[in-house]
Amino acid sequence: MTQIDFGPAGLDIHFPGWEASMAGRRTLHVPLHAILSARVEPGWTSEVLGMRSGLVVSGFRKLGTFTHPSGKRRLVAMKRGMPLLRLVTDRREAGFDEILLSMDDAAHVAQAIQGSLAR
Q: What is the DSSP letter of 115?
A: H
Q: What distance separates the 2 farthest-apart alpha carbons in the chain?
A: 40
All structural domains of the chain with their residue ranges: 3-118
Confidence at residue 29, expressed as pLDDT on a 0 to 100 scale: 97
- For the whole model, what pTM was predicted? 0.94
- Predicted confidence (pLDDT) at residue 119 exceeds the cutoff of 80: no
Confidence at residue 102, expressed as pLDDT on a 0 to 100 scale: 95
pLDDT tens-digit series, residues 70-90: 999 999 999 999 999 999 999
What percent of the chain lies above the pLDDT cut of 70? 100
Contact 75, 53 (CB under 8 A): no
pLDDT tens-digit series, residues 36-77: 999 999 988 888 899 999 999 988 999 999 999 999 999 999
Calpha distance 78→22 (Å, rounded)? 12
Confidence of residue 118 (pLDDT cuts 50, 70, 90): confident
Amino acid letter for position 18:
W
Contacts of 99 (CB under 8 A, 6+ apart): 13, 28, 30, 74, 75, 76, 85, 86, 87, 89
Q: Select the more confidently predicted residue: 109 or 45.
A: 109
The answer to whether domain 3-118 has CATH 2.30.29 is yes
Label residue 13 exposed, middle or buried (CB < 10 Å: 0-12, 13-18, 19+): buried
Label residue 100 exposed, middle or buried (CB < 10 Å: 0-12, 13-18, 19+): buried
